[in-house]
Amino acid sequence: MNPVNYLYLAALLFTIGAVGVLVRRNAIVLFMCVELMLNACNLALVTFSRLHGNLDGQIIAFFTMVVAAAEVVVGLAIIVSVFRTRHSASVDDTNLMKL
Amino acid sequence: MDNLIPVLVAVPLLGAALLLCGGRRLDRVGHLLGTLLAFASFGVGLALFFSMLGRATDQRPIHDHLFTWIPVNGFQAEVGFQLDQLSMTFVLLITGVGSLIHLYSIGYMAHDEKRRRFFGYLNLFLAAMLLLVLADNYLLLYVGWEGVGLASYLLIGFWQHKPSAATAAKKAFLVNRVGDVGLSIAVMLMFTTFGTFAFTPVFAHASQATQATLTGIGLMLLLAACGKSAQVPLQSWLGDAMEGPTPVSALIHAATMVTAGVYLITRSSAIFNLAPTAQLATVVVGAVTLLFGAIIGCAKDDIKKALAGSTMSQIGYMVLAAGLGPIGYVFAIMHLVTHGFFKAGLFLGAGSVMHGMNDEVDMRKYGGLRKYMPLTFVTFGLGYLAIIGFPGLSGFFSKDKIIEAAFAHGGTEGWILGTCAMVGAAVTAFYMTRVMLMTFFGERRWVDDAEGNQPHPHESPAVMGIPMVILAFGSVLAGGLFSINSSFVNWLSPVTGYEEGHSPLSTTEVTTGTMVVLVLGVGVAWLMYGRRPVPAVPPLGSLLTRAARRDLLQDDFNHVVLVSGGSHLTRFLVYLEGRGLDGLVNGIAALVGGTSGRVRRVQNGYVRSYALSMFGGALVLVATTLLMRAVA
Amino acid sequence: MTSTGEAVQFWVLAVVAVGGALGMVLCRKAVHSALCLAGTMIALAICYMAEGAVFLGIVQIVVYTGAIMMLFLFVVMLVGVSSADSVKEVLKGQRVAAVVGGLGFGVLLCAGIANANLHSFQGVGAANQAAGGNVPGLAALIFTRYVWAFEVTGALLITAAVGAMVLTHREATEVKQSQRELAEQRVRLGTQVTPLPAPGVYARHNAVDAPGLLPDGTPAEISVNPTLRQRGQMRHLGSDLLRRMGELEQSTAGWLGRKAPKPRSGAELARVESEETEQREVESK
């Protein structure tokens, strides 16, 4: 098997995550989809690391995880505070950003 | 002595400034001060006149450069005065008749509470008119031209509490504007052609300009003259201008200001002599107006409006003469001067009649006034004889000369013009006799007015009588004096040039002809108004009479062609502007607005929708990158 | 080329990962989505290890699956376990556009990968061995070449933690009332002097969402926790519940040695049902 298949898998997961972001309305699920996209990227990075025979790709994937963790912390905090004020976790209810 | 020229203008200007800015403390002496200054100006004019007479003919014109008004490289506007025989004639006429009318106004305006202002305006008029005739360049002439227009406007609307007077003033101002545009265009054309406004260089270089330019300048000057001198087609304001006080009608709208057009044409003789088309237009205007005014004069029952029609007609004679070229200039000015005397006298007589008749102007309510106002009757009668051309009186000399010159123009044109002038003379005799008969002869027709006051016709005070007497003397004698040894021709010809006309008819034949038409006109008038009592209510009259009562439909013409036409044009332009220009602009705005309105819906507030846009963007980016790589 | 074992492993893991991902997107309930995502992440962790990134695989399981996903579950719990997306799409064409765009994007990505020059394949083993293992290798890089980025990510994490606290912290605007004050207030207001009634007891799984019954048989809404009421998770005392209560009474009658009450008549149930539908209609409005 060619390791390029890992890249196809990553592309597939990324696309599924992206479509999920666009389709789902629950903010938490939305976030999970974003996490899925990040993971897909990580898989691609790890595969590139393997393809090129150095560890830099893994380092980048590591940093991605850290950043994802930070993002999740802040994002979930935002979701919680939005839920407190609007009693809803649906991103469609937070639609004041319009003319 | 010669540096007195600016004083001529300055004296009445000072009077105007004092009287208009002096306030109420001058109310008691304002009229005396104004009159005094007018006479002072006349005195200066006389002194200059005698000084001029004392010099040899070629030394007579004097020039006084005061200062440079606008000193710009390539554009030098000078303020300078030029006093030659032509200007001198006007100076004497303006200050002389002006002074007499100042004197008359003391009596006429005695009971008007705005008398001080009236005299201020009169002085302003004198100053502006003197500036007009003394200017040595067209730009300064233009200043005077506008100044007399202003004074005319102020004086026509002097009783501005009357809506008719206010409207008449506005009308005169507006119609004059049309003429003024002509003058300003003419001045601009001169500047572009000759690079200067001054008379001397312009006339010296006139022959170097193209025929088209000269014709253009001539026609524009003619337009200006038409506006100021109430010639067809800009004649409509003069009849309404009679809303002003009668001394104003006498001074401005009969004797002096309205003749400024004739002055302008005569002064620009060097240009007109080189532009036959402009000359032709001038004679046509003159001939048409002399008949037009005469016909109006026949139908009016308002004594002042009848005289206004007469003024229009007489100025028509002058314009006709001025258009004839060197054979006519001198006679135009001569008729102008004699007309100044007798028409001023007639207007003052009319004013005197009105003064005695509680300001009644309808001649059908006069009748038999000769018994009540003998002095007015005699002076008015002399003016009447002068204007119809009674042998020996001034009108006889000046008008016959014009008729003769018209025949001398030569060819078919000469015959047509001469016939017009002759017919005009007949009609003049008719309408003036009509005025005379309706006012001073027949039975009394005056009745109680609305308040039950019966007018008590009485002779006017001496302060009004004296000017009338002096003007009557002028009316009688001026023509004769001017004609002895052709003294006026000799006086003026160095400035305007003079050629002996070669009339197909001899002087005797022309004189006989004018006598015949004179008798004819008087006779018909006597048959119609002398033998039969004049009805107090005007009869319906023929179609022509009715049209003439409406000033030969001039206002209707103006209304239909200019006002309605203008408003239709404006409406069309507004429509065009609204649909065309605004439509374009609004269309673009609506397009942008509509597009934004639709694009705005993209901004729906749903974060997922924005995410979709981002995703689409990413899609395009990836696609482009791949495409570029594939191409590269 | 990889070993056959890895190939088998890949295909299995790929199926699991894609299945989990699809499950996450398609599940209506957030909890199910979270669990699906956890499965995908574990599958990916194994993939990492198979590709020689042992450290990352472990971190993926510990940090991602262990910590981050648990955080997700906590939030899901806070926000409401059973809150599910409604099926109805508000945005017109959003779903179709998303699916079409996703397909296009996937095709483009695959095309990009297929076109890329990825034929030489080195493997990470040599790099790992050169540093004396995967972890020392990564450590050497992190603390030398990427030390600046590492420090910055540390700062980012701190900031994120502080940010989360700031966002969720609520300032107390008034002094917290003591028990005595609360009691005095209750007596003063007089609306509910006694403790709130307990929720219903006739429950099959979770008694707190079923309201207690007042003596006349009507549900006492204040017996349910306000949070549940606010989320709309209060169980309505419908015909279903009444039927179940009847069943419960019948079944307990035997071993408790009590006489079971008469089962409710069909007419009575029908009346309750009609009330129930009415209430639903009102709510839906």
What total of structural domains would you count in chain A?
1
Position C83 scores a pLDDT of: 58
* Residue of C90, C101, C111 lying closest to B616 (CB–CB): C101
Residue A90 included in any domain: no
In this complex, is the C-beta atom of B204 within 8 Å of any C-beta atom belonging to chain C? no
Q: Is C98 on the interface with B (CB under 8 A)?
A: yes
* Same domain assignment for residues C210 and C154: no
How confident is the model over B382-400, as pLDDT tens digits? 999 999 988 888 888 888 8
Residues of chain A found within 8 Å of residue C10, distances taken between Cβ atoms = 1, 5-6, 9
Nearest to C137, CA basis, from A53, A35, B2, B327: A53
Asked if C111's CB is within 8 angstroms of B619's CB, the reply is no
Cβ distance C64 to A65 less than 8 Å, yes or no, reads yes
Q: How would you write B258-287 as a 3-class SS string?
A: HHHHHHHHHHCHHHHHHCHHHHHHHHHHHH
B196 against C202, higher pLDDT: B196
Buried b (16+ CB within 10 A) or exposed e, A32-67: bbbbbbbbbbbbbbbbbbbbbbbbbbbbbbbbbbbe
For C153-194, how does the pLDDT look when each residue is reduced to its tens digit (9 = 90+)? Answer: 999 999 999 999 998 888 778 888 888 988 888 899 888 888
* Cα distance between residue B62 and residue B53, in whole Å: 12
Q: How does strand B75-83 pair with strand C212-213?
A: unpaired
Read off the pLDDT band of B610 (50, 70, 90): confident
Poorest-confidence range of A43-57, C221-235, C241-255? C241-255
pLDDT of residue B323: 92
* A95 domain-assigned: no
Supply the pLDDT for residue B449: 64
**Which residue(s) pair with B62 in the sheet?**
B83
Question: Across the interface, do A95 and B604 touch by the CB < 8 Å criterion?
Answer: yes
Q: Give the closest residue to B335 by CA, choosing from B316, B323, B318, B311.
A: B318
Least Cα separation, residue B622 to chain C (angstroms): 7
On the question of pLDDT at B44 being above 90, the answer is yes
How far apart (Å, rounded) are the C-alpha atoms in residues C237 and C272? 9
Q: How confident is the model at residue C204 (pLDDT cuts 50, 70, 90)?
A: low
Radius of gyration, alpha carbons of chain C:
29
- Assign B507 a pLDDT band (cuts: 50, 70, 90): confident
Does the pLDDT of residue C5 top 80, yes or no? yes
DSSP β-ladder status, C212-213 and C219-220: antiparallel
pLDDT for residue C86: 66
Q: Give the domain extent around C149.
A: 132-162
Looking at the structure, do residues C157 and C206 belong to the same domain, yes or no? no
CA gap C229, B126 in Å, rounded: 102
Residues C277, C210 share a domain: yes
> Is the pLDDT score of B624 beyond 80?
yes
Inter-chain residue contact A39 with C10, CB threshold 8 Å: no
Check CB contact of B608 with chain A, cutoff 8 Å: yes
B touches which chains (3+ CB pairs under 8 A)? A, C
* Separation between Cα atoms, residue C220 and residue C216, nearest integer Å: 10
**What residues of A are in contact with residue B615 (Cβ under 8 Å)?**
18, 21-22
- List chain B residues with CB under 8 Å of C102: 615
For an interface test with B, the pick among C91, C108, C109, C110 (most B C-beta atoms closer than 10 Å) comes out as C108
Cα–Cα distance, B573 to B414 (Å, whole number): 45
For the residues B62-87, what does the mean pLDDT come to?
88
Q: Alpha carbon of B350 to those of B191, B242, B449: distances in Å? A: 44, 12, 19
- B626 and C111 in contact by Cβ < 8 A? yes
Distance to chain B for C104, nearest Cα, Å: 8
Cis check: omega of the bond before C261, within 30 degrees of 0 = no
E strand or H helix at B558: none
User: How crowded is residue B507: how many other Cβ atoms within 10 Å of its Cβ?
Assistant: 11
Q: pLDDT at residue B140 above 70? A: yes
Decide if A94 is inside a domain. no
pLDDT in tens, B216-270: 999 999 999 999 999 988 888 888 889 889 999 988 888 888 989 999 999 999 9
- CA angle, B34 then B37 then B42, to 5°: 125
The reply to whether residue B605 touches residue A98, judged by beta carbons under 8 angstroms, is: yes
C99 vs A: CB within 8 A: yes
Checking if the pLDDT of C213 tops 80, the result is no
Partner residue facing B603 (CB), from A23, A25, A98 = A98
- B254 closest CA partner among B317, B315, B169, B171: B315
Q: A89 in a domain, yes or no? A: no
Residue B2: its pLDDT value, please? 64
Please state the φ and ψ torsions of residue B407, each to the nearest 5 degrees. -65, -35
A99: pLDDT strictly greater than 60: no
**Total CB pairs under 8 A between chain A and B:** 29
Per-residue model confidence (pLDDT) at position B428: 92
Nearest residue of chain C to residue B610 (CA atoms): C94
Residue C112 contacts B where some CB pair is shorter than 8 Å: yes
Do residues B299 and B429 make contact, with C-beta atoms less than 8 angstroms apart? no
The predicted model gives B594-619 an average pLDDT of 86
What is the average per-residue pLDDT within B282-299? Answer: 91
Partners of residue B604 in chain A, C-beta under 8 Å: 95, 98
For residues A88-93, give the mean pLDDT: 79
pLDDT band at B127 (very low <50, low <70, confident <90, very high): very high
Is it the case that residue B284 has pLDDT exceeding 80?
Answer: yes
Q: Which of residues 35-54 of A touch B (CB under 8 A)?
A: none
Q: A17 vs chain B: nearest CA distance in angstroms?
A: 12
For residue A20, what is the domain's CATH number?
Answer: 1.10.287.3510
- Name the domain count of chain C: 3
- Region B433-456: mean pLDDT is 79
Instruction: Please give the ipTM for the structure prediction.
Output: 0.92
Which of B603, B607, B620, B622 best tests the C interface by mutation, with the highest count of C CBs <10 A? B622
pLDDT at B283 over 90: yes
Asked if B205 and B136 touch (Cβ cutoff 8 Å), the reply is: no
CB contact under 8 A, B609 and C91: yes
Lowest mean pLDDT among A85-89, B159-163, C46-50: A85-89
Its domain, for residue A31, covers: 1-84
Q: How many CB atoms lie within 10 A of CB C44?
A: 31
CA angle B164, B165, B169 (to 5 degrees): 115
- pLDDT tops 60 at residue A27: yes
User: Where are the strands (E) in chain C, listed by range?
Assistant: 212-213, 219-220
C6-20 average pLDDT score? 93
Q: Which residues contact B291 (CB under 8 A, 6 or more apart)?
A: B313, B316, B420, B423, B424, B427
User: Is the pLDDT at B487 greater than 80, yes or no?
Assistant: yes
Distance from CA of C106 to the nearest CA of B (A): 9
**pLDDT at position C268:** 66
**Which residues in chain C are contacts of B616 at CB distance < 8 A?**
101
The span from the CA of C277 to the CA of C238, in Å, is 9
pLDDT confidence bin for C280, thresholds 50/70/90: low
Among A27, A35, A24, smallest CA distance to A86 is for A27
pLDDT (average), residues C63-90: 79
According to DSSP, residue B532 is labeled S
Mean of pLDDT over chain A: 88
Quick count: other Cβ atoms within 10 Å of Cβ B244? 27
Per-chain mean pLDDT for chain B = 88
CB contact under 8 A, A18 and B604: no
pLDDT at C272: 65
Is the confidence at residue B102, as pLDDT, over 90?
Answer: yes
**3-state helix/strand/coil string of chain A:** CCCHHHHHHHHHHHHHHHHHHHHCCEHHHHHHHHHHHHHHHHHHHHHHHHHHCCCHHHHHHHHHHHHHHHHHHHHHHHHHHHHHHHCCCECCCCCCCCC
Higher per-residue pLDDT: B562 or C284: B562
Q: Which chain C positions have a beta carbon within 8 Å of B613's beta carbon?
A: none
Query: Between B629 and C47, whose confidence is greater?
Result: C47
C117 contact B CB<8A: no
